[in-house]
Structure 1
Amino acid sequence: MYVNQDLAEFSDLAYKTAVALYLVSLAVSLVYYGMLRSATEARRERSRILGEAKAAAAEKVAVPVGAGSGADAGKDDRSDVSGIASGSLSEADLPKTFQIDAIRAKHRRADMWGGMTQTIIWLTVAVHLLFLVTRGWSAHRFPWGNLFEYVSVVSGMAMVIACVVLRRKSMRVLWPWLLTPIIVLLFYAGTELYADVAPVVPSLKSNWFWIHVTTVSFGGGIGLVSGMASLLYLLRRAQPKGEEHGILGKIVSPLPDASKLDALAYRSAIWTLPVFGLGVIFGAIWAHSAWGRFWGWDPKETVSLITWLLYAAYLHARATPGMRGKPAAWINVLAFATMVFNLFFINMVVSGLHSYAGLN
């Protein structure tokens, strides 16, 4: 079947545009991240100053007024200190940076950049999907016949899912952490894995091709979001909210509470397990129709099964009181790392029946 070269060139242009927009999205999200960190630190510093003032005032109230100061003077001193201790410290007494109006203005500016980030990301995802549609349309097939296309599909699925789960303002702060691996994947795919638009190899001409790959790609996209959430959960556990220290503490200070990150990882993994499992089952059915057997312990089949078992182990650990927390999160991170290993190393290095998915 012929290839529409005009659409193929347009799809390549859409891919480059999507990568450029992802870079812009990352830059804007980093500005938002930095402004939110500045506003958060200013609010915490304000609370610290007020807390120290109250403690000092309370201590001063407890000390009797010195003799010879006069009854009126003693009354005035106690009145001033009582005002501070009760929390009525004047805004004018605080540095301008830590006054409530300045902090609110910082949060408003940060929210504006957060909204810009969300808008640009939605536009970027639309261009990403346009690339996938035109890529497949130009060859009259589904756009995942080689590793370049497969990586593009998985990253696109992950971004669509992320746009849904990160739509709340409180979760927008996670965008720099998710955009970074997406950009790395797309850059590597575009520079090292790129393949010209062409019809698929004969072994992929099956109805099970798009069913199997679509399901696995969707499961892998959800797994990417879940794995990153668990990784950030571990970082937040190492740097509890309000107790950050060092350079790492400054970097992670805008992140939500560990409980929110853990909940995001868990809710995502709940979907990853059945969807990815269905992808493995569909692959087994396709293998039976193509090779006459459901399972042959091919390297990719084996690692896919291990990945699915790790996600099952994570959900089991997450539901077990003694394993909940860091142990469960590490299992989820390991599952995500195994999925990435399966995507690149197994496809490109290990010889097996799935090796055609590499650079053909």
Structure 2
Amino acid sequence: MNIAAATNEPLAEISNYLIYSAMAVYVLAFVAHIAEWVLGSRSKVARTAAALTSGAAQDAAAQDAAQAAPAVTVRKGGSTSVLERPKVVTRSSAGRRGDLPDGPGAAGGDERGDLYGRMAISLTVLAFALHAGGVLTRALSVGRAPWANMYEFSTAFSMVIVGAYLGFLLAKKNIRWIGLPLVTTVLLDLGLATTWLYTESDQLVPALHSYWLWIHVSLAIVCGALFYLGFVTSVLYLFRDRYETKLLGGGRPGAFATSVLERLPSSSSLDKFAYRVNAAVFPFWTFTIVAGAIWAGDAWGRYWGWDPKEVWSFITWVAYACYLHARATAGWKGRKAAYLALFAFACFLFNYYGVNVFFNGKHSYAGI
């Protein structure tokens, strides 16, 4: 491999080996997550159906009691009147949906599934350590921030995604259900980075020699990683919501759907988690755009020039602003909000991949 003279060739090679090693361990984590979902006992799932059945039975019993209650006779002023039987107010289907319990976790809560789950988390931690080592040695090989081209951005981006996921777990947030789609996505991202997007370790173009590279791009990576968690949660919400709707309508989902979707949180919990993540990240994405404008003013003498990257960053901002505004004012929750969140993250991904590949502009530092 022909590495530029200004780079530390041994460290650059070590970085490549660490990234490939991380990918190998992520594959093992992927297999462990599959085992967690597939081989874990199904005996402790189907709680949603049980909750709905219990709620329906309680409502039916209350209605029967109301019908069996005797009419009330009232004498007043020498006349007799008969009042109707007392009415019993029962919960609507929508109300029961809000009361549905969260699933017991990806493994269904059984001992064997939990063992596979803990193995998957341990392997993910090991892979993250190798992954972080690869990003760090890439930075040390050239003495700069390791996100100056699409290969470096991709490796750092997926590293932060895993770090955010492990951070939630460390904070005792039960989001192990994200583990399987997360590891799958990280493997795809690293596979794309090491093949199509790979760029040899090299020095920066003049416009990138700025401390804003550490601020602006690192913020974009962190925001994108957290937006990704909101995106995955919204996707899972759509599946879980359809499952609950089918149960509420008296349908009988298949055994596979029951086994998988019962292990997720309720649709209400997924919806709230996605909203909280996106809402928390949005101010930082706003500052990311502002920081980029300030950097553009320093580097090119203008704060905004409608460069394709600037345009799509703004489109992404507008999409997430619409999502949050709809949730706050129009009362949009559930599927409408989820579709908006998916559209917003699609804008972020296009800004990440599409703009660098298909457009030419001052931000064309893809290196491919």
TM range, smaller chain: 0.7 to 0.9
* Aligned partner of 2:253 among 225, 245, 260: 245
Cα distance in structure 2, aligned partners of 1:20 and 1:220? 24
Shift in alpha-carbon separation, 1:43–1:268, aligned structure 2, 3 A: closer
| Corresponding residue for residue 92 of structure 2 | none
Per the alignment, residue 262 of structure 1 pairs with 271
Q: 1:35 to 1:257 in 2, by over 3 A?
A: farther
Change (3 A) 1:262 1:293: same
- Following superposition, the deviation at residue 165 of structure 1 comes to 2.2
Q: Which residue of 2 aligns with 1:112?
A: 115
What does the per-residue CA deviation read over 1:65-109, in whole Å, with 9 as the maximum and x for residues that have no partner? xxxxxxxxxxxxxxxxxxxxxxxxxxxxxxxxxxxxxxx997011
Give the structure with the higher percent helix: 1
TM-score, normalised on structure 2? 0.77
8 Å CA contact 2:147, 2:153 repeated in 1: yes
User: Residue 308 of structure 2 aligns with which residue?
Assistant: 299
Using the alignment, how far apart are the partners of 2:314 and 2:6 within structure 1?
37
Q: Provide the rounded CA distance (Å) in 1 between the counterparts of 2:166 and 2:108.
A: 27
Q: Which residue of 1 aligns with 2:17?
A: 13
Distance 1:274 1:44, change over 3 A: closer
Measured at CA, do residues 44 and 216 of structure 1 come closer, stay the same or move farther in structure 2, by a change above 3 Å?
A: closer
- The secondary structure found in structure 1 opposite 2:280 is helix
Shift of 1:343: 0.7
Q: How does 1:1-360 map to 2 (within 5 A)?
A: 2-36=6-40, 38-41=42-45, 107-167=110-170, 168=172, 170-240=174-244, 243=247, 245-246=253-254, 248=257, 250-320=259-329, 322-355=331-364, 357-359=365-367
2:182 match: secondary structure: helix
Q: How many residues align?
A: 307
| % identity of equivalent residues | 34
Unaligned runs of 5+ in 1: 55-103
Q: What's the CA shift string for 1:236-266, capped at 9, x where partnerless?
A: 1111299361455554332221122112211
Shift of 1:36: 3.9
Q: Structure 2 CA distance, aligned partners of 1:294 and 1:5?
A: 37
Counterparts of 1:322 and 1:255, CA distance in 2: 24
8 A contact 1:39–1:106 mirrored in 2: no
CA shift for structure 1 position 173: 2.2
For residue 38 of structure 1, report the CA deviation from its aligned partner: 2.5
Unaligned segments of structure 2, at least 5 residues? 58-106
2:66 aligns with none
Q: Secondary structure at the match of 2:37?
A: helix
Q: Larger relative CO (CA 8 A, sep 6+): 1 or 2? A: 2
Distance in structure 2 (CA, Å) of the matches to 1:28 and 1:200? 40
Task: Report the alpha carbon displacement of residue 2 of structure 1 after superposing the two structures with TM.
Answer: 1.9
Q: Write the distance in 2 (CA, Å) between the matches of 1:8 and 1:237.
A: 47
1:119, distance to aligned residue in structure 2 (A): 1.4
Distance 2:342 2:308 in 1: 21
| Residue 115 to residue 169, structure 1, CA distance change in 2 (3 Å) | farther
Q: Is the 8 A contact 2:44 2:109 kept in 1?
A: no
